[in-house]
């Protein structure tokens, strides 16, 4: 697939509420079950304080208990003058999840809805980003773009979803390698020079700094693009080839 036909993406997620005690009683009980499942192996059930702490730390990674606060995308194109590849980075970020999901979906519907021609690329996108987006679309009662309607599809019917972590695994299903580690190993700039995933919830709920989260998310998209270029033995993008919209 031509790299210019691939939409590179990354999402940032946080807990659905600022704290465990802000949940309804039903959701508190359901999270307690989830937290104890995550802590399997402990001799005693988690205390309420431990359940609350687990919510702050882990709820954001589960679409049933979290929400998306930013989807960043990167579009690669060939400049007519210097003939080099360039990338335009853009973020859909909002406290209103339905609003950002609608804006992102409209981009896909209008420009990337043909899975035979266009693809999507992210790091761990098949296990996290794409399923999370789909689940939150359903929770918000919004339609799935055709390329994301993957339920029941065979592996050869989902080749338009490119996962850079899967590319690195080379068939090793137990493999999980972070973007930060691959950046160090393969020699391109690390995206983690400000905050990392564990800080996003705090920056969102306490600092109310969506702009900072968006810029961090865009750097992940850029790093994913650089990783893809490394796999293809293509030149990396230089600073003057990167545009933040």
CATH assignment, 3-13+74-244: 3.30.420.10
User: Which positions ≥6 away from 60 have C-beta within 8 Å?
Assistant: 13, 14, 15, 66, 67, 200, 201
Return the pLDDT at 193: 66
Alpha helices in the chain (DSSP H): 25-38, 48-58, 97-111, 130-139, 164-169, 179-186, 200-205, 210-231
- Separation of alpha carbons 57 and 42, rounded Å: 18
Which has the closest alpha carbon to 123: 240, 1, 10, 3?
A: 10
Q: Is the Cβ–Cβ distance between 69 and 202 less than 8 Å?
A: no
Maximal CA-CA distance, the chain: 66
Return the pLDDT at 235: 95
How many angstroms separate the Cα of 89 from the Cα of each of 57, 135, 175, 220? 28, 24, 28, 10
Return the pLDDT at 192: 64
Return the pLDDT at 87: 98
How many angstroms separate the Cα of 24 from the Cα of each of 28, 30, 51, 63? 6, 10, 14, 17
> 97-111 vs 130-139: helix axis angle to the nearest 10?
120
- Separation of alpha carbons 85 and 195, rounded Å: 28
Q: What is the pLDDT along the chain (245 residues), one digit of tens a residue?
A: 899 999 999 999 999 999 999 999 999 999 999 999 999 877 789 999 999 999 999 999 999 999 999 999 999 999 998 889 999 999 999 999 999 999 999 999 999 999 999 999 999 999 999 999 999 999 999 999 999 998 888 888 899 999 999 999 988 877 789 999 999 999 998 876 677 778 999 999 999 999 999 999 999 999 999 999 999 999 999 999 999 98
What torsion, rounded to 10 degrees, do the Cα atoms 236, 241, 242, 245 define?
Answer: -150
User: Which positions ≥6 away from 101 have C-beta within 8 Å?
Assistant: 68, 71, 92, 133, 136, 137, 140, 142
DSSP one-letter string for 203-239:
HHHTT--HHHHHHHHHHHHHHHHHHHHHHTT-PPPPG
Domain locations in the chain as residue ranges: 3-13+74-244, 17-64
Kindly tell me the burial class for residue 134, based on how many C-beta atoms sit within 10 Å of its own C-beta (0-12, 13-18, 19 or more). Answer: middle
Residue keyed to tokens 């033995």: 233
pTM exceeds 0.85, yes or no: yes
Q: Is the Cβ–Cβ distance between 7 and 105 less than 8 Å?
A: no
């Amino acid at each position: 697939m031509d790299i210019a036909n691939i939409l590179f993406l990354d999402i940032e997620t946080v807990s659905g509420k600022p704290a465990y005690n802000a949940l309804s009683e039903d959701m508190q009980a359901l999270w307690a079950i989830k937290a104890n499942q995550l802590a399997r192996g402990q001799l005693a059930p988690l205390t309420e304080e431990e359940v609350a702490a687990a919510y702050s730390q882990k709820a954001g990674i589960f679409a049933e208990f979290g929400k998306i606060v930013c989807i960043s995308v990167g579009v690669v194109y060939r400049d007519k003058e210097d003939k080099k590849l360039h990338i335009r980075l853009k973020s859909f970020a909002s406290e209103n999840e339905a609003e950002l999901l609608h804006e992102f979906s409209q981009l896909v519907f209008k420009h990337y809805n043909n899975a035979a021609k266009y693809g999507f690329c992210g790091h761990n996108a098949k296990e996290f980003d794409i399923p999370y987006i789909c689940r939150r679309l359903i929770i918000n009662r919004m339609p799935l773009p055709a390329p994301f309607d993957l339920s029941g599809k065979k592996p050869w019917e989902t080749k338009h979803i490119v996962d850079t972590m899967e590319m690195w695994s080379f068939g090793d299903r137990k493999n999980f390698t972070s973007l930060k580690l691959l950046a160090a190993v393969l020699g391109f700039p690390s995206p983690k020079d400000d905050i990392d995933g564990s800080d996003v919830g705090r920056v969102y709920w306490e600092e109310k700094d969506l702009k900072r989260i968006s810029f961090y998310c865009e750097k992940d998209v850029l790093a994913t693009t650089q990783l893809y270029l490394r796999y293809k033995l293509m030149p990396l993008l230089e600073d003057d080839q990167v545009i933040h919209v």
